[in-house]
Structure 1
């Protein structure tokens, strides 16, 4: 067996190398994005591991078939950027890593909420832009324990977020098309999304991207939110209409936003060696707002997550080549 690992980051390399040595399997790494051109470098390999937010297209899977490669193991959860039908049509089995560390993402969402409720961005702006360092009335924040937190999506990550917000004393309500049966009294489901949005002081998104929730958070929904509300998105960028979010922040429809993922993310976002300067006008505009924290799709990024993403992905490849059916098969 031998595997090719694309989009590898520097922090992943030690875990990849250790896995290869432990399992006596040749594993080659490359920092390049997986596309119809770079897939040629995997000729002669038994399987491919990938991590990217840009599409895995029909044309790419056609190249897989030409090269006789039948296995793609993602190192992430989301498959919304994967043409799964094209993968199946070209005899490519795809796996993901559905739970590499849900605590990591949930913890980051809570971190963003604390940053924004305590007005840390305003303190930083005073210091960095005005070179002043003193108390100001506009720094007055709110206690999490005085607020209602709305969680959208009560899967693994959402339930960890609920537990953490509850630990800070918040009242938690939730909405999910497929609610869990047992809430253990930690939170209450509301009947629909509009009810959650109108009641919540903090809204944290924890659902996958689907065709049904594209731009779910748009001008109409922002108007329903409280004017002191905070939106946290550590899920998928396509769920939020970026232009409508910027308008909502500038007009005061909502108070603040924590954004870890944006729509139309580029390949450079996951390239730790990139030297390109930021040019996206939306990211620049959001980054200049003291009531916004924006990060480069990094909520997952802990040592525990990286280790699990690498090892689970490569274990899935090993099982597939051995003729076994991994639990993480998605097509």
Structure 2
């Protein structure tokens, strides 16, 4: 039994080496992204662990079948970038890690909300341009306790975010196609998405990407939102129409945005050793706006999360190789 781990970051290496030693299993790791050109590195291995947001194509799973590889274990939650029918057709089982550290992403969403609510971007811009501070109307922020936070998606991450926002005194409303049976009185479900858009001072997205919610946040939705509202996306880039978001920010349809994930993320973004300059024009434009905080898909990135992602991903491979069915099997 031996496994290969793709797209490895430097901070994952100690956890990978420890897991292999503790379980007596050979585990090789590589920093390369898994694609049709690099899949040959997996020759001779029984299972693959991977973390990336770029596509896993049908051709890739055809290569898996030719190489006799039956297991792909993700170190992340989302599977929207996987050709699942092709995986099934080629006899490849997929697992993910649905709960590596909900608190890590929830804390990041709250951090972004506080950064934007207290106008830190405007302060930084003034310091960078003038190398001095003076009192400005642009610096006046809002207390979290003065705001209504709309949480879109009440799974593990959404509920962790609700707990933190509630702890800061915010009023919390939420929407989910599949609502929880009880809210413990910590938040209230609204009847419709329109209610969430209209009532929220901050909207924090915590739902998986699907075909149905592709570009759910578009020009029509931004027009519905308050012109003082903030949008926080630590979920998936495809949920937000980037062009419409930039227009909304520049025209004043909404007041600001925290963007940890954006459409069409490149492999370089997730390469911890990459020294390439950012060239994505959308990222560059957003990074220059004082009412935007944009980060490189890092909301998950804490020591607890990294350890859990490695342990659960490799553990799922071991279970499948042993003939067991992991709870994290993607159907």
TM exceeds 0.5?
Answer: yes
Separation in 2 of the partners of 1:37 and 1:204?
Answer: 37
User: Which residue in 2 is equivalent to 1:142?
Assistant: 142
TM-score, normalisation: structure 1: 0.99
Residue 261 of structure 1 and its aligned partner are, at CA, apart by 0.2
- Could you list the per-position Cα deviations for residues 198-242 of structure 1 after superposition, in whole angstroms to 9, with x for gaps in the alignment? 000000000000000000000000000000000000000000000
Query: What does residue range 16-165 of structure 1 map to in structure 2 within 5 Å?
Result: 16-165=16-165
Where 1:28 maps in the other structure, the secondary structure is: strand
CA distance in 2, matches of 1:140, 1:133: 14
Q: Distance in 2 between matches of 1:100 and 1:66?
A: 32
Query: 1:210 aligns to what?
Result: 210
Q: CA deviation at 1:133?
A: 2.5
For 2:246, the equivalent position in structure 1 comes to: 246
Q: Which runs of 5+ in 2 are unaligned?
A: none
* Offset, 1:130: 1.5
Long gaps (5+) in structure 1: none
Q: Which runs of 4+ in 1 moved over 3 A?
A: none
Q: SS of the residue aligned with 2:172? A: strand
2:195 corresponds to: 195
C-alpha distance in structure 2 between counterparts of 1:138 and 1:61, whole Å: 52
Q: Does 1:10 align with 2:10?
A: yes
* Secondary structure of the structure 1 residue equivalent to 2:231: strand
Distance 1:20 1:232 in 2: 37
TM-score of the superposed pair, with normalisation by structure 2:
0.99
Residue equivalent to 1:290: 290
CA shift, 1:134, in A, is 3.2
Q: How many residues align?
A: 331
Shift of 1:135: 2.8
Work out the CA distance in 1 between the residues paired with 2:107 and 2:160. Answer: 8
Superposition deviation, residue 292 in structure 1:
0.3
